[in-house]
């Protein structure tokens, strides 16, 4: 199976409300997209299309596929490539598509990068190798090997709660010297350390913890990689756009609206399960199924009303009162 490889270069044009500054290479409002599946466990192409339409209508200018929320550990390389190709074909340049290719094996991660590039990805997400807990020198060599394998920009993924190993500030500043390693998704939650690294190097920071999107953006993060945006992309985009426009008052207002939604979606966990249940309940995808070892949420943890969010525009407000916790 082969795809036409089109590498994108330059700055992202306005996808939602234009802000005062040019959009960064990988966008600002990125969603950690779930991977819709049928009850038999196969990736559902029609539901992928419907979800992508929903995310674009809500104002997302970046889509991360085959990440943690996309159940990457259960996807084969062929499935990942097919998924990237389908999403890039659907967005038609309206958003950047970033493929999660990091594993705990460098050779496999390099193969994943090549597959993603061939499938048309605009960037790569590379997580710190998990389980084996390598030394920082090994992490640097691993990330550089993946970055050297294609000409795509790379976003590092720092999530020690899942991997067992954090990227140290020194490692981050050294990796920032690589010409294609341009960003980091920070799910570590050490805001003070993040501000120190931002002051020392050129890495563009993305908040990878929905509960902390506002403080990270206020501290200098350029955008978010959001799970909540699967369900409420318009509200997450509104928060990011308000901070980009330096309208802190509006950002606080949107954040107050988002807080109960984020809590209901993220705190029961795992997020892939609750997000799929919510999307299925809203009629955006047909089935909330996940692959083992995850199991589908028995009932939706969050309800967003009977009207499909696909028809809403980024300016449409989602009333927090539509949230009803499952009993």
Q: What is the pLDDT of residues 129-178, one digit of tens each?
A: 999 999 999 999 999 999 999 999 999 999 999 999 999 999 999 999 99
pTM: 0.86
Catalytic annotation, pick one of 130, 131, 157, 216:
157
Using CA atoms, how far apart are residues 319 and 73, in angstroms rounded to an integer? 35
Q: How confident is the model at residue 22 (pLDDT cuts 50, 70, 90)?
A: low
Q: Is 302 a residue whose pLDDT tops 90?
A: no
Using CA atoms, how far apart are residues 185 and 44, in angstroms rounded to an integer? 27
Q: Taking residues 179-200, report their average pLDDT.
A: 97
Asked if residue 214 lies in contact with residue 252, where contact means CB atoms within 8 angstroms, the answer is: yes
Using CA atoms, how far apart are residues 263 and 327, in angstroms rounded to an integer? 16
Asked if residue 203 lies in contact with residue 179, where contact means CB atoms within 8 angstroms, the answer is: no
| In the chain, domain spans | 29-309+317-322
Mean model confidence pLDDT for the chain: 87
Tell me whether residue 185 is one of the annotated catalytic residues: yes
Task: Give me the pLDDT at residue 269, please.
Answer: 78
Q: Is 300 a residue whose pLDDT tops 70?
A: no
Task: Give me the pLDDT at residue 322, please.
Answer: 35
CA torsion sign for 131, 139, 5, 229 is positive
* Cα separation values, 169 from 102, 166, 176, 198, 280, Å: 20, 9, 11, 10, 40
Asked if residue 226 lies in contact with residue 30, where contact means CB atoms within 8 angstroms, the answer is: yes
Task: Give me the pLDDT at residue 52, please.
Answer: 98
Determine how many CB atoms are found less than 10 A away from the CB of residue 111: 16
Task: Give me the pLDDT at residue 297, please.
Answer: 83
- Among 49-63, 131-145, 194-208, 307-321, the least confident range: 307-321
**In CATH, which superfamily holds the domain spanning 29-309+317-322?**
Aldolase class I (3.20.20.70)
Q: Is 25 a residue whose pLDDT tops 90?
A: yes
Q: Is 327 a residue whose pLDDT tops 70?
A: no
Q: Is 126 helix (H, G, I), strand (E, B) or coil?
A: strand
Residues 79-110 pLDDT 10s:
999 999 999 999 999 999 999 999 999 999 99
Determine how many CB atoms are found less than 10 A away from the CB of residue 250: 15
Q: What are phi and psi of 63, to 5 degrees?
A: -125, 120
Tell me whether residue 92 is one of the annotated catalytic residues: no
Q: What are phi and psi of 60, to 5 degrees?
A: -70, 135
Share of the chain above pLDDT 90, in %: 81
Catalytic annotation, pick one of 130, 131, 185, 206:
185
Structure-model confidence comparison of residues 116 and 8, the more confident one: 116
Q: How confident is the model at residue 23 (pLDDT cuts 50, 70, 90)?
A: confident
């Amino acid at each position: 199976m082969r795809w036409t490889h089109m590498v994108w270069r330059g700055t992202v044009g306005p996808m939602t409300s234009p802000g005062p500054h040019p959009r960064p290479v990988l966008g600002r409002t990125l969603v950690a997209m779930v991977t819709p599946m049928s009850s038999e466990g196969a990736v559902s192409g029609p539901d992928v299309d419907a979800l992508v339409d929903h995310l674009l209508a809500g104002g997302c200018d970046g889509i991360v596929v085959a990440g943690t929320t996309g159940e990457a550990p259960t996807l084969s390389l062929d499935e990942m490539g097919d998924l990237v190709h389908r999403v890039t074909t659907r967005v038609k340049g309206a958003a950047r598509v970033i493929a999660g290719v990091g594993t705990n094996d460098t050779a496999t991660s390099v193969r994943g990068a090549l597959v993603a590039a061939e499938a048309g990805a605009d960037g790569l997400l590379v997580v710190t190798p998990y389980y084996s807990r390598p030394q920082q020198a090994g992490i640097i060599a691993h990330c550089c090997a993946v970055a050297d394998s294609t000409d795509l920009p790379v976003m590092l993924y720092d999530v020690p709660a899942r991997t067992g190993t954090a990227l140290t500030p020194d490692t981050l500043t050294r990796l920032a010297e690589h010409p294609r390693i341009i960003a980091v998704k920070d799910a570590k939650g050490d805001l003070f350390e993040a501000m120190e690294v931002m002051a020392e190097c050129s890495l563009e920071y993305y908040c990878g913890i929905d509960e902390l999107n506002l403080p990270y953006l206020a501290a200098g993060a350029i955008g978010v990689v959001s799970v909540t945006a699967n369900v409420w992309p318009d509200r997450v985009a509104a928060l990011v756009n308000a901070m980009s426009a330096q309208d802190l008052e509006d950002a606080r207002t949107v954040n107050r609206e988002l807080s109960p939604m984020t809590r209901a979606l993220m705190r029961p966990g795992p997020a892939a399960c609750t997000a799929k249940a919510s999307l299925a309940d809203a009629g955006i995808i047909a089935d909330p199924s996940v692959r083992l070892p995850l199991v589908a949420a028995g009932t939706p943890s969050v309800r967003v009303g009977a009207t499909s969010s696909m028809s809403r525009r980024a300016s449409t407000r989602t009333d927090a009162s539509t949230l009803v916790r499952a009993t």
